[in-house]
Structure 1
Amino acid sequence: MTDRNDIEQLFKAHYTQMFRLAVALLHDDDLARDIVHDVFLSLLDDSSNLLISCGYLLKAVRNRCLNHIRDYSIHQRIANRYFLDMEEYDTEDWPDEETIAKMYAFIRNNISPQARQIMELRFSDGIKFSQIAEVMGISETAVYRHLSHALSIIRKKLSENG
């Protein structure tokens, strides 16, 4: 089904219905449009000759929307729970090099190697939870828990020292 003409016909026949489903799930026109386009791009990249139905396309859109909602939900929970709001954060009071070195030493000595690796992948490399889980061979929930535990240890140390 990788023939461009076939995919173009599918696009013309089913785009509106797919777009409406995505908007209903996401409440965001631009994001819905991107997800529907991603579904069609994946059809272009797929080398198999499957018969693609409207139901298949709608399920693909629904699954991508649900994956986006799940990933966004995980990101928001962590952002709301663990990170400072930019309005409250005073950029003029950055720690000096000695304080940063002490914090790195604290992290090396008090955070498990697996949690340290997760923190590095997430914060230094900017990798998503799903990708970290795949790389490390653990679930996304385990990634979230390791990160949560490590951040609570760091937060406790920071509150003790002011």
Structure 2
Amino acid sequence: MDQEDLNKIMDAHGGHLIKMAYFYLRDREMAKDIVQDVFLSFYTSSNYEERGTLRAYLTKMTVNRCKDHLRSWSFRNLLFSHDWVETIHKQQDPLILNEERAELAITILKLPMKYREIIIFYYYEEYKIKEIAAFLELSENTVKARMVKARKLLREKLKSEDWEVLSID
């Protein structure tokens, strides 16, 4: 793979990977750093085999790097000096264009990781339950149970019946 190929891959998948990393880390700059690290690792020692889509492979690498970072000693000892909710509004994220979407996004970011990732993969990435289960190495029943719990938590936090997407199927 040459530099031109890498640039094309970065252009095609970079935005998506930064959004995914942001949903895990809640920090735009750290998300960019993680994605840069993913691309560097992919470029220098690519173990990618054409068994699945490149997007899924890079997403999995990004999610794993985010989880590693969240488990790291440096992250656990980091003291946040600013309120990340205010940062979301200042950055004008493309996902957060109006007040209702902002409220939903902020509420999703407040969910515990195991529920947040299910919501993100299902609604934002549009993966099916079976795909999420395989991706996160969980049973389909566990994914379904977490989806029900995540919707319940969102409903309670949003305190509104106008969110039909949260209705339990």
TM-score (norm 1): 0.42
Flag the structure with larger Rg: 1
TM-score (norm 2): 0.40
Higher relative contact order (CA 8 A, sep 6+): 1
Structure richer in helix, relative to its length:
1
